[in-house]
Structure formats: C-alpha cells, structure tokens
Amino acid sequence: MKAKIVCFKLSKTVNILILIIILQIIFILFQIKELREERNFNQIQESVNEIENKTEVIQNEVNHEIEQNVIKQEVKKEYETMPSEKKGFKIIGKITIPKLNLDTYILSETTTKALKVSVTKLYGPNINEVGNFCIAGHNYRNNKMFGGIKKLEKGDKIILTDTYGDSVTYEVYENYQTDPKDVSSLNQETKGDREVTLITCTAGAIKRVIVKAVEVYD
C-alpha cells in the first residue's frame, strides 16, 4: 500500500514537472515567435522605408523634370513670337543680362545703321554653337545697348536665346579694356567650349571694353 502511495506521489510529481516543462517550452516558443514576428516586422519596415526613400527620390526627379519642362515650354512659348526682323534687320536671337536688366534682340550683321537699332553679331559661329560668338553694341546707357557691360564681374550671367527658344547661360570670366585696333578678343580657339564676347567702346571711343564669358554646365 505504501509503495502504491509512493508511486502515485512520484507519478504526480513527474506529471507536474512535465507540465511545467511543457509550459516553459510553450513560453519559449511563444517568445521565439514574438521575436521572429518583431524581426520580420522590422525587416518589413526597413523595406517600406527603403521603398519610400526611393519613391521620394524618384518623385523629386520627376518633379524636377516636370519643372524644367514647364520652364522650357514657357521659354519656347515666349520666343515663338520672336520677330524675324527689326527695322529691316534680321534677328538671330536675344541676349539677356539680368544684372544690367538688359534684354534685347541680336541682329545678324554689324553695320552703322544696324548698331543704331540693337546689338549685332560681329564675328564667330552661329548663336550658341561651339566657338566664340562676338557681339558688338554701342555704349548707350539704356537696356538695349552695351553702355553698362563695364560693370559686369566674374560670375555674372549672360543668357543667349536662339529663334527656336533654346537658351544657353554663360558666365563672365574676364572684363578688360584694350586698344581699338586689338582684335585678339575675336579669337576662335575655345577648346571646344561655347563662348560669348561682348564688345563696346569707352567714352570718346578711346578704348574698347571687352567682356568674355563661357558656357555654364549643369
């Protein structure tokens, strides 16, 4: 009888221990499951963040492209109405110098009469092509001529726009005065760059004011 009681007590103890072990195993498995779920959630969250970041970058690029296209369309729309001539002289484009509030047409040839109408192409390639595009203008103090170009400094911008509405921005790198007989500023050796040279006279035509600029690359 005592043996049976002892066996019963042992069996009960063993069952309790087994139950405790099972509960512990269940608890451990539950903890493992939670850790896995947390890890999976973190991985998912990282993936979501990565996708969001990539989406933001793409969206920014798209927005930038849209903005650039809108600007180009506005510019082209504006210059669709660019006249073909002014007072009998052919127009080949437009020059804009923000610092001087200068915005005027460029005429195709330099003559005494043409220079009284606007600034003119003096020498070089077609507008906004590789080479040194040279523009001459009188030293009149208005926003149609070159009276203010002596104020231009390194880094100032010059924008040339052709008759199709395509614009190229140039940056001033040199501004100097020289003898009227000095034609070195017309040199076409630009090492493959697009350059623009502005030319006018000082008061009394004693000197020539030369402003040179090179294309700005994005």
Q: Provide the pLDDT for residue 79.
A: 46
Enter the pTM of the model.
0.64
User: Which residues neighbour 143 within 8 Å (Cβ) at sequence distance 6 or greater?
Assistant: 100, 101, 102, 103, 104
Mean pLDDT by 10 residues, the chain (218 residues): 52 74 76 64 59 66 65 53 91 96 95 95 96 95 88 97 95 96 95 96 90 92
Q: How far apart (Å, rounded) are the C-alpha atoms in residues 30 and 24?
A: 10
Backbone torsions φ then ψ of 46, nearest 5 degrees: -65, -40
Q: How far apart (Å, rounded) are the C-alpha atoms in residues 75 and 95?
A: 13
Q: Provide the pLDDT for residue 34.
A: 65
Q: How far apart (Å, rounded) are the C-alpha atoms in residues 200 and 109?
A: 15
